[in-house]
Structure 1
Amino acid sequence: MPTDRTATNKATLRGLHDALNTRDLEVISKTIDEVVAPNVLFHAPVPMAETGAQALKQVWTVLLRAFPDLHVAAEDMIAEGDKVVVRNLVTGTHQGEYRGLPPTGASVTYGEIFIFRFTGGRVAEIRGVVDVFSQMRQLGMIP
């Protein structure tokens, strides 16, 4: 049976997903500031110069520059204790530079799974597994 805390944590992530799907960097940045701890530990297969919440904002800046129509659909959301696991299906069209690759116009669809750990009602740690191989294959970066 879900506790109030797990229900609140899931609602927080649904709100974050809603913000991400606006594709508006100002809305995304404001929402990240509201629900993510500034010093969040962010573990994901993405090279970045920033840390904490700034790293998360940088990821979205890069993704939306490359895939302006990016959409993240939460397929599953499971909560227990201070953690929420989300399995997403991501879709988008490659319309801007990405990982050194000029726009191809290719559509991509790939999966990802993230584990969010909450502390004091905010996301304190994120661990992600993204199907980068599938993404890169669809963009023609690998055969």
Structure 2
Amino acid sequence: MNAGDRAALDRLHDAVSTGDPEAVAKTIDEVVDPEVLFHAPVPMGGTGVQALKQVWTVLLHAFPDLRVTVQDVIAEGDRVVSRNTVTGTHLGEYRGIAPTGASVTYDEIFVFRLAGGRIAEIWGVVDVHAQLRQLGVVPGAPA
């Protein structure tokens, strides 16, 4: 991974932790390829950067204090893997769930393919089960 690739990922992580959807959208425009291929377990209807922006709009509406803490970054060739811990407080509607005020903490792993210093493809594995369990939607004690 070259310095430009790492800088693109760092800028994206920094932007999403601001809680500002406009800053996130602006950063996405700057560091993500407009035709990015996005593979992740999130509800969305668009493609490319519009899909990615929609994901962050939904998440930041539901969890305005959302923070992504990068635990590990592993890079090889044009691929970068980021293992993250996500925290937030459920203060807005999410997946049809009215705000609960619950705090959530869950893990995610993303693989990014970079091309020309921009994120060209994203694969994501998000612990949605832990997220929904903490919101009281699925059975089980909160994590």
Shorter-chain TM-score range: over 0.9
TM-score by length of 2: 0.94
Aligned to 2:134: 138
Cα RMSD for the two superposed structures: 0.8
User: For 1:40 and 1:21, how far apart are their aligned partners in 2?
Assistant: 21
User: For 1:88 and 1:58, how far apart are their aligned partners in 2?
Assistant: 20
TM-score by length of 1: 0.94
Q: CA deviation at 1:57?
A: 0.4
User: For 2:68 and 2:46, how far apart are their aligned partners in 1?
Assistant: 23
CA contact (8 A) 1:87 1:111 kept: yes
1:25 aligns with 2:31: no
1:100 aligns with 2:115: no
Match of 1:63 among 59, 65, 72: 59
**Number of aligned positions between the proteins:** 139
Could you tell me which runs of 5 or more consecutive residues in structure 1 were left unpaired when the two chains were aligned: none
Aligned to 1:126: 122
Q: Which runs of 4+ in 1 moved over 3 A?
A: none
Could you tell me which runs of 5 or more consecutive residues in structure 2 were left unpaired when the two chains were aligned: none
| Counterpart residue type for residue 139 of structure 1 | L
User: For 1:47 and 1:105, how far apart are their aligned partners in 2?
Assistant: 21
Q: CA deviation at 1:110?
A: 0.1
